[in-house]
Amino acid sequence: MPPKKTSLTIAVFGVMMLLLQLAKLARPYAPAAVVDFGPRQITMLPPAPVRRNTAIAPAKFTASAPNLIDEHDALKPFFQALWRTESKQAGAVTRILHYGDSPVTADSITADVRSLMQETFGDAGHGFILIAKPWAWYGHRGVEVSGKGWRIEPASQSPTRDGLHGLGGVNFQGSAGASSRFVLKEDHARMEIQYLSQPGGGVIQIAASGRAIDTIDTNGSDKHPAFQTVSLPEGARFIELSVSSGTARLFGVNFERNGPGVIYNSLGLNGGQVQVVVRYFEKTHWTAQLQHQKPDLVVVNYGTNESNYGDYIERSYSGELREVIRRIKSAVPNAAVLVMSPMDRAERDANHDIVTLPTIPRLVAIQRQIAVETGCAFFNTFQAMGGEGTMARWWDSQPRLVSADFTHPLPAGARKVGVLLYQALENNYRQFKSKQTERIAQQPPTGQTEQ
């Protein structure tokens, strides 16, 4: 038998571990239970030299200031696309890419914006969905996703050596037997498989409701992103994808209906932040992914994870945000770009009061100025939801709107943010449409000239 001291130590350790497990089980399931990877928790490349943000003062946000700022009519291409869609022009699909951090990985906020936009302008499909769950809470409202046998490499946690992570920032590699299943609540006309064509690439089988419908050979002469569209049989709700031979690399699938309508793609990445895009998204590959989507609007919704690091915000953040915007505008110059600020984020102070992190207003001010300087629109989520102290109010509200980390919204809180974003976009769109209609009405009839 071990000595008494050793036995006592083991017993105490066992009790502590049991208590930790019980604490975890007692905690309600929510994305809040997961810790994002901050800027210094992943391997870093040497930072590019950037100027400090000394010219940007901490902001005081007021209820009278607009939540959606668009000083350069940056949203015009998006609004023009929406107008075509609302007019029900044949095949007019408005496409939106919404990049964000952990709340977006569960389709929080984005699902609510999607449903509201599709109710108003038409439903053109679910859009992009990852091959499997990189995180237990990954999801897309209206679609059940499951997979097995994949080696999963998110850019924010275990980036690939070649930086090829597809549209959604996650690489999936699988050999024979790896498979995924998608269960849809509604019919879709087609599914696009997004993969890497490469020397020695494997073969993928696609089945709908248990019947084989197509095969994709991912073997190619060189590495390059590839896309194959498969028509789905009417009534097919159970879609299966499997590697039948060799090894294949996949990035995601895209479900679409025939337009007109809106496709709102939720592209959340756990630990998502601008420096992950700059340092771990291979530029040429990501450019090809963006161009293939032909987006009318790209939303850049990072900042939650960066708010942990005040020095990083002062020294490097502005340069890396500018670089992300530059890459998007270079890849898809005809798309509108909207910088969307993070929500309020709080912690308990020495008095145990719930208070806003001081980095949040500072970060929002930097985002606003850079958006204006780079010709982007800006949505002030922080201000729209109530500014400083919002998370304290959300924590005390009934029903509760935020998780115990005062960062991740619960479903009711996520819906509030989604509704705020939708209302801001819809209101500005109606103003745009009214001005355009008035301008057209003032033009002289065809064949006549103004006197």
Domain boundary among the residues 190, 225, 257 is at 257
269 and 386 together in one domain: yes
Domain boundary among the residues 199, 226, 257 is at 257
Amino acid, single-letter form, for residue 172? F
Residue 264 is assigned to a structural domain of this protein: yes
245 and 264 together in one domain: no
Q: Model-level pTM?
A: 0.86
Q: What is the CATH number of the domain that holds 226?
A: 2.60.120.1360
- DSSP one-letter code for 305: T
170 and 210 together in one domain: yes
351 and 320 together in one domain: yes
290 and 405 together in one domain: yes
252 and 264 together in one domain: no
Instruction: Please give the residue range of the domain that contains residue 63.
Output: 36-124+259-440
270 and 409 together in one domain: yes
184 and 211 together in one domain: yes
Closest to 191 in 3D by CA, of 253, 249, 112, 234: 253
241 and 336 together in one domain: no
Residue 22 is assigned to a structural domain of this protein: no
Q: How many domains does the chain have?
A: 2
Tens of pLDDT, residues 203-241:
999 999 999 999 999 999 999 999 999 999 999 999 999
Domain boundary among the residues 257, 289, 305 is at 257
117 and 138 together in one domain: no
Residue 191 is assigned to a structural domain of this protein: yes
300 and 263 together in one domain: yes
Q: What is the pLDDT of residue 447?
A: 60
Residue 31 is assigned to a structural domain of this protein: no
Residue 227 is assigned to a structural domain of this protein: yes
- DSSP one-letter code for 101: S
Q: What is the CATH number of the domain that holds 383?
A: 3.40.50.1110
Residue 2 is assigned to a structural domain of this protein: no
Residue 23 is assigned to a structural domain of this protein: no
Tens of pLDDT, residues 265-284:
999 999 999 999 999 999 99
Q: In the chain, which residues have pLDDT < 50?
A: 1-2, 4-56, 450-451
C-alpha distances out from residue 404 to 209, 260, 344, 391, 442, Å: 41, 41, 14, 10, 56
With contact defined as beta carbons under 8 Å apart, do 130 and 170 qualify? yes
Tens of pLDDT, residues 340-352:
999 999 999 999 9
Which string of b and e fits 358-367 if b means at least 16 CB within 10 Å?
ebbbbbbbbb
Q: What is the pLDDT of residue 54?
A: 38
119 and 133 together in one domain: no
Residue 5 is assigned to a structural domain of this protein: no
Tens of pLDDT, residues 131-146:
999 999 999 999 999 9
Which stretch of DSSP H or E encloses residue 284? helix 283-293
